[in-house]
Amino acid sequence: EVDVVINLPAFLSGEFSHVRNELASVVRAVRMKAINTGRGQVVVKAIIETCYLTTKMKRLACKICEQAGVDFVKTSTGCGPKGATVQDVELLRDCLDERISIKASGGIRTLHDVELMINAGAVRVGTSAGVAIMKDFLA
């Protein structure tokens, strides 16, 4: 699997075609390398860093990711000032074609957080608290 952060400076500068073309190039390169090495399908996840975007920009980022052919849209790297929110996951799910999955990342620390994200539409979560969450799940 390959995670790639969209070109946020270009996106915020309005260079949407550049962002789409760059992301599509990554998707093509990953897929060609996988085919040529006999590895099969490689999943590409585009990280859009929702904490820096308005609702309108998040919708546009989803459209760009769709056009580029990614398999997942991921809320954040977890390095920004804010991680995944339920509202963002719901928005992404509403904006994206059903073939594109969502990974919620950043700030997910509890089993309750995981449940909220999955109920909002995420099929994966990224967390640094995996051990504590699994202990809580098994308790």
Cβ atoms of 10 and 48 within 8 Å: the answer is: no
Alpha-carbon distance of 112 to 116, in angstroms, equals 6
**Residue 74 among the catalytic residues:** yes
Residue 116 structure tokens: 């909220």
Q: Which of 58, 71, 88, 103 is catalytic?
A: 103
Q: Where are the beta strands (DSSP E) in 9-123?
A: 44-47, 72-74, 101-105
CA-only gyration radius of the chain, Å: 15
Of the candidates 74, 82, 88, 136, the residue annotated as catalytic is: 74
Q: Which residues are catalytic?
A: 3, 74, 103
